[in-house]
Structure 1
């Protein structure tokens, strides 16, 4: 099965989340304080999404998203809607695994009262996760745009890695494998329903896989006697099980970054080298959205393992700062990546390798509601730079 450029991703793409306007943040605060109705909040969300949809059009972005403006955090949607998960308003610190890079960072900040979700019952998808968000986006876009709309999705292992042995009740599930088997069923059902309402482009947001590139997490796991290779294999199997019934004409992308918290703070470092073979050759997705805006992501060398049937979206443009990158340097780096891909395990001409590449910002502009230190005009200029650069590299933009 190959999806390569028959439909999304596009040469110029973006990760998904976009800057929320102040008025939306103000209304969301009122809603959270129970001083605003859900309908009143939706009206404000709709207007804000209409504006960022138009911004994406003007910037030349075709894989339009709702900017995740209906969420507080990028990973909202699945586990807060999955029957069997329990919300814990204040999680005891020992239930967070401090070998996970972002957990370690938060513990250094002495974060207290952090909330989370753990599994306390049989997991069942009794209501949709993202279908309403996709249907709402359809209503705010043109019919000819619907086939390109993108919805971003939480990583299936999100709470499992964070909570380790506390992730689920062992009286309900005897093993990690049993736990993930039911999660995969829920994702299969969601993907089928998304497809039924017209969605053809999904993107998993998964900084956790990039954490397996971090020496700090690997050494922390080894100190706890955790087989990180086996755990990564289990997560890969879970992805493939989640995607098992995906229709052939539905694109699945996978976004890896190293954290994009308040003010653009990152949590881990390390190139993709450690996981490259498994990442590119064992996970059944069509494209990879990879952070590549700083040295913390390593070199392009791991791209030598990219199969001919997949594409890579190089996150060369920072979503964390307002300064614009140099277009000539962006073009040079894209060419460098193409040359390395062409020399890979499965050799191919440079032009063929170039045809497997797209470009984007390295992450979203607002992985959480407050967003990064960029103004709305900065976001538009960054997206326009993505498109303008792509037009100068490829002719089919």
Structure 2
């Protein structure tokens, strides 16, 4: 682990994505049809992002994001060696992956995807322009407070397995992963040199794919389906952990002030639906002890995510962001009940480390369980409801830590 402060960057956090204004969604559709220019689209995005920053500041959040309004640009899109496939065959998708199964259940034709067809090389940063544009909209002293949300390094491999890359280019997963990690290290260093000090990796399926304890998609049958294809779930999880750690290999020396968080949840499928269930207990030891990140953003807004028992495995040099407040619906949670749950989590954390409950409490932050618009349509909540939820996060943090 790099020598980074133990506490989360801010007591009150949010998960990055905010509801996208209708005019942004409409402009994007027109852009895809060639009816709106890239500059016209950017101007509308800039307006929406300025408004998003204003909302975050108004409710009292310190950590700032661009609402993920430029969500069409990312990491893999700009790597040499990856190719967009407009009409992929269904057979290259792994049906045991929860969101793949959910999407393909709704659509007879799979959505476009991205596959590795050549040697991977980092040639352009997709995130740097997003960071720089957001940095222009905040005061110089606030640039360090910007949080960038990055794609999970195993994103396409998880969905496509052996179909994710050309075997004529990479003989095995490890070769493929090594070049992804090398590109990831370049991306992180570019962002860091530009002033970025806080990144959040979005990986909603890392936990649910390997826990095997749900009545929905995240169940034993999914793991059996993996084994039926010749894949070892435990070995696959270990390979993904090695990939993560390879991505962060040099950060202790090259990126000493960078805070890295890992977000895992049960999914915000379209219109406030989830696509998986189950607790973190079955992978807690590896999740919390073997991945070289500083903090974990975990969904805990309903019983669907299990109990806090997994938090016993969280080591003293790491922190947790408890997603106790739902982003799916406008009804506000009771702040006293939320406070009690935070103290319950601290007590369980302390039971695993031998520290006091108060010491464990200092390693906790609070947030919604997920973003408000994991998909373009957003959740069943309006802008005012979203604002109230964000305010509740801040009020809860202030009530507990007296900030």
Q: TM-score, normalised by structure 2?
A: 0.95
Corresponding residue for residue 137 of structure 1: 134
Corresponding residue for residue 233 of structure 1: 238
Q: Deviations over 1:265-314 (max 9, x none)?
A: 21111100111001100000000000111111111000001011110000
Aligned equivalents of 1:84, 1:258: Cα separation in 2: 31
- Give the superposition deviation at 1:4: 3.2
Q: Secondary structure at the match of 1:122?
A: strand
- Give the superposition deviation at 1:55: 0.3
Aligned equivalents of 2:229, 2:304: Cα separation in 1: 25
Aligned equivalents of 1:4, 1:306: Cα separation in 2: 16
Q: Contact between 1:257 and 1:363, CA under 8 Å: does it hold in 2? A: yes
Q: Contact between 2:6 and 2:317, CA under 8 Å: does it hold in 1? A: no
Q: Is the counterpart of residue 245 in structure 1 residue 250 in structure 2? A: yes
Supply the RMSD in Å over aligned alpha carbons.
Answer: 1.2
Matching residue within 195, 216, 220 for 2:192? 195
Aligned equivalents of 2:6, 2:64: Cα separation in 1: 16
| Unpaired stretches in structure 1, ≥5 consecutive residues | none
Matching residue within 304, 311, 316 for 1:303? 311
Corresponding residue for residue 41 of structure 1: 41
Q: Secondary structure at the match of 1:58?
A: helix
Aligned equivalents of 1:245, 1:163: Cα separation in 2: 28
Corresponding residue for residue 102 of structure 1: 99
Corresponding residue for residue 338 of structure 1: 346
- Give the superposition deviation at 1:113: 4.0
| Unpaired stretches in structure 2, ≥5 consecutive residues | 212-217
Q: Contact between 1:202 and 1:251, CA under 8 Å: does it hold in 2? A: yes
Matching residue within 165, 174, 185 for 2:182? 185
- Give the superposition deviation at 1:108: 2.3
Q: Secondary structure at the match of 1:343?
A: helix
Corresponding residue for residue 295 of structure 2: 287
Moved more, 170-179 or 110-119: 110-119
Q: Is the counterpart of residue 356 in structure 1 residue 363 in structure 2? A: yes
- Give the superposition deviation at 1:261: 1.8
Aligned equivalents of 2:321, 2:74: Cα separation in 1: 24
What pairs up with 1:1-397 in 2 under 5 angstroms? 1-5=2-6, 8-72=8-72, 76-210=73-207, 211-213=209-211, 214-215=218-219, 216-246=221-251, 247-344=255-352, 346-395=353-402, 397=403
Aligned equivalents of 1:356, 1:220: Cα separation in 2: 38
Q: Contact between 2:284 and 2:313, CA under 8 Å: does it hold in 1? A: yes
Moved more, 276-285 or 26-35: 26-35
Aligned equivalents of 2:394, 2:222: Cα separation in 1: 36
- Give the superposition deviation at 1:53: 0.2
Measured at CA, do residues 2 and 333 of structure 1 come closer, stay the same or move farther in structure 2, by a change above 3 Å?
Answer: farther
Aligned equivalents of 2:9, 2:225: Cα separation in 1: 36
Q: Contact between 2:6 and 2:294, CA under 8 Å: does it hold in 1? A: no
Q: Which consecutive aligned stretches of 4+ in structure 1 deviate over 3 angstroms post-superposition?
A: none
The alignment of Structure 1 onto Structure 2 pairs a total of residues equal to 391
Aligned equivalents of 2:110, 2:357: Cα separation in 1: 52
- Give the superposition deviation at 1:103: 1.4
Aligned equivalents of 2:250, 2:108: Cα separation in 1: 40
Q: Contact between 2:104 and 2:110, CA under 8 Å: does it hold in 1? A: no
Q: Contact between 1:91 and 1:115, CA under 8 Å: does it hold in 2? A: yes
